[in-house]
Amino acid sequence: EPEVTQTPSHQVTQMGQEVILRCVPISNHLYFYWYRQILGQKVEFLVSFYNNEISEKSEIFDDQFSVERPDGSNFTLKIRSTKLEDSAMYFCASSEAPGTQYFGPGTRLTVL
């Protein structure tokens, strides 16, 4: 069964460093998303992406964040200068159409 994959499973970085979180969505899906969950809090929406552009972003998704679909299979989330409060589990999701979103297993980001 096709699935969304994410790498790495765990990323540790120093405050101020750039990180790139990678996702491979399900191959025939057209809609892509990033969510995150800070420990003990709700899963929260960051950004959605369709037709090679951002469709919607939350207020969390400021200038430090960017997304890219560089090669038609990967979907990346970049954080330019990480802060302590960026430590969270980051989930990628994809969907064929508006409807069920299929999630990856997440990347745990730890900012020291």
Tokens of 48: 């959605």
With CB under 8 A as the contact rule, the residue among 82, 91, 94, 111 that binds other proteins is 91
Calpha distance 24→7 (Å, rounded): 9
Contact string (CB under 8 A) for other proteins, positions 32-71, x = contact: -x-x------xxxx--x-x----xx-x-------------
> Interacting stretch for other proteins, rule CB under 8 A, among 22-30, 67-75, 76-84, 95-103?
95-103
- Binding to other proteins, residues 18-37 (CB under 8 A): 31, 33, 35
